[in-house]
């Protein structure tokens, strides 16, 4: 049902500082996630070690970057995300970004709390695939929005 008394939010482009924080959080998440993958799958284990010493450090950084990323997402949600959605702006790329963040949060939660190893493995590979897709999705969203903004000017 459409409320005729409700004026859609005007989507606000995130401030320069907000954009920098989005890029910082995304970069930290990607680098820390890749560091864990490299340590887990590619680096040789030190003698008598069950895991590479880089793995827990990569996860600590990844967890901190996750909190930063979710805080930044929360900061742009009200004006940027909801405002653009209500106006129908960039729903494809913006909806993809929101879906990626949600799926990453859910699969990350699953990695932490799932006890069943089969489900945990599914969550792990889904998290890896989604995590490597997030920076590409962000780049597409930013480039498309910039092109449309320049065309309208």
Question: How many C-alpha atoms does 92 have within 13 Å on its Cβ side?
Answer: 5
Which of 3-17, 29-43, 136-150 is least confident?
3-17
Instruction: Tell me the C-alpha distance between 123 and 111, whole Å.
Output: 6
Cα 72 vs. chain centroid, distance in angstroms? 10
The pLDDT value given to residue 153 = 76
Name the more confident of 96 and 10.
Answer: 96
pLDDT grade, residue 11 (50/70/90)? Answer: low
Instruction: Look at residue 89 and tell me whether its pLDDT is greater than 60.
Output: yes
pLDDT grade, residue 135 (50/70/90)? Answer: very high
Question: How many C-alpha atoms does 1 have within 13 Å on its Cβ side?
Answer: 2
Instruction: Look at residue 4 and tell me whether its pLDDT is greater than 70.
Output: no
Instruction: Tell me the C-alpha distance between 26 and 87, whole Å.
Output: 26
Instruction: Look at residue 5 and tell me whether its pLDDT is greater than 80.
Output: no
Instruction: Look at residue 144 and tell me whether its pLDDT is greater than 70.
Output: yes
Instruction: Look at residue 51 and tell me whether its pLDDT is greater than 70.
Output: yes
Residues 123, 111: contact at Cβ < 8 Å?
yes
Instruction: Look at residue 27 and tell me whether its pLDDT is greater than 80.
Output: yes
End-to-end Cα distance, the chain: 34
Q: Please say whether the dihedral angle defined by the alpha carbons of residues 118, 35, 62 and 90, taken in this order, is positive or negative.
A: negative
Instruction: Look at residue 76 and tell me whether its pLDDT is greater than 90.
Output: yes
Q: Give the CA angle between residues 146, 67, 117 to the nearest 5°.
A: 110
- 49: tokens are 């070690």
pLDDT grade, residue 8 (50/70/90)? Answer: low
Give the DSSP letter of residue 110. Answer: H
- Residue closest to 55 by CA, chosen among 71, 35, 75, 72: 35
pLDDT tens digits, 90-106: 899 999 999 999 999 99
Residues 9, 77: contact at Cβ < 8 Å?
no
pTM of the full predicted structure? 0.88
């Amino acid at each position: 049902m459409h409320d005729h008394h409700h004026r859609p939010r005007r989507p606000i482009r995130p401030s320069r500082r907000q954009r920098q924080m989005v890029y910082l959080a995304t970069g930290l998440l990607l680098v820390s996630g890749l560091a864990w993958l490299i340590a887990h799958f590619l680096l040789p284990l030190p003698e008598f070690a069950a895991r590479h010493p880089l793995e827990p450090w990569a996860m600590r950084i990844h967890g901190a970057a996750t909190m930063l990323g979710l805080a930044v997402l929360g900061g742009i949600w009200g004006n940027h995300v909801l405002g653009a959605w209500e106006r129908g702006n960039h729903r494809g790329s913006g909806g993809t970004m929101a879906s990626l963040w949600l799926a990453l949060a859910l699969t990350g939660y699953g990695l932490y709390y799932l006890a069943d190893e089969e489900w945990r493995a599914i969550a792990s590979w889904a998290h890896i695939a989604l995590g490597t897709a997030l920076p590409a999705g962000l780049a597409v969203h930013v480039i498309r929005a910039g092109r449309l903004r320049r065309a309208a000017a």
